[in-house]
Amino acid sequence: MIILKYPMFDFNNYSIKQKLLIVFIFFKAIPLIILAVLSIYSFLEIDALLKESYKDMIQQSKSSVKKTTDIAISESIVALDIKSQSVLENKTKNIANNVARFLYQRDSDILLLSSLDIDKNTLQNFYNLKRSKVYIPSEYFYDKLKNKWVSKTKQPAQKEQAFETHAMFKNFHKVKKQEAVQKSIPLYKEISFYKPDGKEIYKVSALDKKLKDISNKNNSYLRAEDYFLEAKKLKKGEIYVSRVIGEYIPSPVIGSFTKEKAKLAGIKFEPEKYAYAGKENPLGKKFSGIIRFVTPVYKGSKLQGFLTLALDHQHVMNFTDFHDSLSLNTLDISDASNGNYAFMWDNQFTSISHPRDYFIVGYDSKTGEQVPGWTTLEMEKRFIQSKEKDFGKFLKTQSTFFEQSSDKKPSISQAKKGQVALDCKYLNFAPQCQGWVEILKNGGFGSFVVSWSNISKLNTVAPIPYYTGQYKNSEVGFGFVTIGTNVNEFHKAAINTRKNIDKVLEVEYANIQKSIEDTSSKIYNNIQRHIILITSLTILLIALVVYIAIYISYSISKRLSKIITGTQKLKEKDFDYQLECNNNDELGELCRSFNTMAASIKDLTQNLENKLYTDDLTKLSSRPALYRDIKSNEFNCLLIFDIDSFKSINDHYGAHAGNYILVEFATILQKFGLKHKLHPYRVGSDEFVLLTHNYLTNEQIKSIVSKLDQTISSSFFKCDKCSMDTTISFTCGASSNLSSPIECADLALNEAKLKKLTLMIYDDTNPNMNKHSEFILWKQKIIYAIENNNIIPYFQPIIDVKNPESKKYECLIRMIDNENIISPYMFLDISKEARLYPQLTRIMIEKSFEYFHNSDATFSINISIDDIQNKETLEFMDEQLLKYDVGDRLILEILESEEIDNFDVIFPFIKKMKAKGVRFAVDDFGSGYSNFSYLLKMKPDLLKIDGSLIKNISKGSDEYYVVDAIVKFASALDIELVAEFVSTKNILDTLKEFDIDFMQGYYFSEPRADAN
């Protein structure tokens, strides 16, 4: 390269700006270059716009078709749901009507037989004559290799005869009728005639052929029948009909009875010893029950005795056990495994027919008592606390259909015993029971969809309209039939249609995309030719400046490269690197400034690192240094120490004494750490850490802590200036957790403090140490709910005793989590720990105020002392009161607790709010921290009596007298009273004896999303 040596061309004496001006002005190429660049840019912009337009067209087309498809499929699914729902409702009603007709035929049987001359032969002939067909389940065997039950019967391949449909036929569809095998069996298990004194005279029986005195209940079937006494009440032509009576058959295995499940249940694989469950346990014991029909027999006007027919319950079960809810055909064996099956309940809401016989309510043949139905873990705990020995008697004292929810857990002990019969009255973990109750009122029938075991299920229900005897005044007659069906079964056709449409659209979009790409390619080639032409013309002129351009680029780029190298060294924290500065232009000045900056950063970084990674007091490494060292090593074993009673030492001897102890403890820790190859840190006020990157066993950790404990306990901490001479001790938590050793050691430390131990090593099987995972999970749920508007108010009515038409509500917080409504008991305390509680309060204030803005109803919301002390919350409440103008209808409920004693904090707030018309209530009054002097100062408008007093109240109980005292106290101060937790009529009747202004509870209404 030739470099000009003349002084006027010595570019080292010019600034960069001057150099660039000289080059471009000298050649006057600026207009041409700009024109060329603009032309090229315009062509490229046209190409980009065309591509973007094509992309938008495709995207808009996709979006439109997608929306149209979604709307069509969604409407199809809705239509399918409605149609399927209607079909299944009618199918359920038809089954129920068939059952009723069958039972009425038994009425005709017994009245007919009672009109004949009764003797042994008459009964025998009637028994032989009365038969009916029942479905016989196909035989199954247990396949050990597949670990499941397999049918012994192989279905032969059916050849369909070819049939050419007529041109006018469309959608030709033939359903081939397939029925299960049937067998004719006697309708009755027993026919008997007994004298008015209860002594049987004639009997034909498959139960017990011996003639007995049935006035003694122990001589009846399973010792459970009381028809002798009931029959005495009958008039001529009347019939007594019993409930379904059969021996309960347990099963500790729910679902398919496999070897694996038997092992988990702790039993041998002996399916024949447990309840029959159709396809899930085809070898089990079948439920064998009867329904007893009784009518008096007269000769003229004289009572001769009583005739009984014991209907074989198998005939009743036959109506539902082999039913297929999604087909016109019958099943070859009852099957509950796919969730699509029918079952039956009596008028007492107990199960009398189910594909799984262990769900049928039965009797204990030893006692003659009904075996208690499966209930919740909560009910089981209440039974243990009640000291009652008989679980069945205990259940009769409990509220029926009480707060039924899928969130509740079933009793584990009952499941282990196999005692899992279904009694809807106490099946409180199955909310569909309440759905059936609501639909069946006044003889109604219908359906609803419920989420059960994470599956959406359509439940249809219809009453059995049989009204003989004790069923005469029953809303549901004999009982009711239900069918459960998976909702997704209805949607298969629509979902498959969506998939087919998506496939077609993908092919079409691919073709369109290819066509656009071909057109775009042609346009691009044309533009490219124009660009080449313009570029070629421009290059001819620019070639003249190549020599000088090379020189300038070489001169500038070489020096800029040095500066870039310097910045890279600076990034790599090499603060000693210096640039050469031989020029006097701007780049030379930039080099000198860079060198000065590097030196300054070096000094500043060293000072910051010293302050960041070293504790000022003890000179040990600090918490940031601990985090740095943990992050830079794959394995970390960490011991965290907390000086016991350090606050007491600080408070008693002063801060100087505390600092003295910290420094001395740090000195001991440093020497100890050096000896045992452990690095010491100070990470908190009186918290220290020893860290090693080597693996330590639990025994090694215990040995290290024991040695340090001996060293510390033998040391005396004497400070003459502080007048202190004392010894100290410590508590230690240790962890070798790979992902979060500090957090785990902290958990172990807290557990050690709680149990007053010197050392605790982290163990993730210890629930107290592992609870942080649950905290993190719920914290994330709360944050997600806040960000996605899933914190909502629910409203529970407050009933004005003297003016029931008056509208009052309490606003209660709820959280939506995956379409489930979550109670505040699950997340409110965690929100306080996570410092999210103020946000929840502000959401409740805004949504409650907005909801009641255009209403004349009075409403209340709950606030805490934390809310009152939170400046942002109070300012927000002022803004919302001004915005929605609800002050004269607002009641603020303050929880009665120990915190409420801080009257100086809440008094200004109460005074300010009352000036705006807001009223105040003290919530949970009587819960244990009542401060009457505080109440006299506060002068609340209402007292809400604590729910623990109300839900356990009865005439003459301790709660009764406490409530009486509260009522008199409130009356003396002219304060209105609200009774919470009014859940039953008994509680309501007891409270009517007191002068209580308002009542609230599930007896009136549970909290709902809509106050209307």
Residues 514-539: tens digit of each pLDDT: 776 777 677 777 777 777 877 777 78
Give CB contacts under 8 A, 24+ apart, made by 644-652.
Answer: 644/728, 644/729, 644/730, 644/731, 645/728, 646/685, 646/686, 646/728, 649/724, 649/726, 649/728
Q: For residue 447, report the phi and psi dihedrals to the nearest 5 degrees.
A: -160, 170
Of the spans 278-287, 592-601, 770-779, which averages the highest pLDDT? 278-287
Measured from the Cβ of residue 616, the count of other Cβ atoms closer than 10 Å reads: 9
Beta-sheet strand order (sheet of 759-761): 679-682, 687-692, 637-643, 730-735, 759-761
Predicted pLDDT at 207: 95
For residue 733, count other CB atoms closer than 10 A to its CB.
25
Q: Is the pLDDT of residue 897 over 60?
A: no
What's the pLDDT score for residue 743? 81
Counting beta carbons within 10 angstroms of the beta carbon of residue 301, is it exposed (0 to 12), middle (13 to 18) or buried (19 or more)?
exposed
Label residue 650 by pLDDT band (50, 70, 90): confident
In the prediction, which pLDDT does 406 show?
A: 86
More confident residue, 175 or 941: 941
Model confidence at 82, pLDDT cuts 50, 70, 90, reads confident
Higher pLDDT pick, 613 / 497:
613
Percentage, residues of the chain above pLDDT 70 = 81
- Residue 13, token pair as written in the block: 């004496």
For position 741, what pLDDT does the model report? 86
The confidence band for 350, taking pLDDT boundaries of 50, 70 and 90, is: very high
Beta strands 791-797 and 188-194 are unpaired
Question: Given this model, what pLDDT does residue 108 score?
Answer: 97
Q: How confident is the model at residue 898 (pLDDT cuts 50, 70, 90)?
A: very low
Question: How much is the pLDDT for 866?
Answer: 85
pLDDT tens track for 209-240: 999 999 999 999 999 999 999 999 999 999 99
Question: What percentage of residues in the chain have a pLDDT greater than 90?
Answer: 53
pLDDT at 3 over 50: no
Mean predicted confidence (pLDDT) in 921-941: 73
Does residue 93 surpass a pLDDT of 60? yes
Max mean pLDDT among 86-90, 487-491, 841-845 falls in 841-845
Rounded Cα–Cα distance for residues 74 and 70 (Å): 6
| Segment 701-729 mean pLDDT | 90
- pLDDT given for residue 498 in this prediction: 64
What pLDDT, on the 0 to 100 scale, is given for residue 595? 74
Q: 360 and 384 in contact (C-beta within 8 Å)? A: no
Distances (CA, A) of 766 to 47, 754, 762: 66, 13, 8
According to the model, what pLDDT value does residue 830 have?
86
Asked if 880 contacts 849 with a C-beta cutoff of 8 angstroms, the reply is yes
What is the model's pTM?
Answer: 0.48
Spatial distance between the Cα atoms of 189 and 186, rounded to a whole number of angstroms: 7
The distance in angstroms from the start CA to the end CA of the chain is 92
* pLDDT value, residue 326: 73
Q: Comparing C-alpha atoms, which of 663, 669, 664, 672 is closest to residue 681?
A: 669
For 903-920, write each residue's pLDDT tens digit: 666 788 888 999 999 999
Res. 701: pLDDT tops 50: yes
pLDDT of residue 347 exceeding 60? yes
Residue 674 has pLDDT above 80, yes or no: yes
Q: What is the dihedral of CA 880, 884, 890, 892, to 10 degrees?
A: -10
How many angstroms separate the Cα of 103 from the Cα of each of 100, 291, 319, 566? 5, 10, 12, 99
Q: Report pLDDT digits (tens) over 596-618.
A: 776 667 666 666 667 778 998 99
Long-range contacts of 328-331 (CB under 8 A, 24+ apart): 328/175, 328/177, 329/177, 329/178, 329/179, 330/135, 330/178, 330/179, 330/180, 331/180
Average pLDDT on 289-297 reads 98
pLDDT value at residue 69: 63
Give the mean pLDDT of the chain.
85
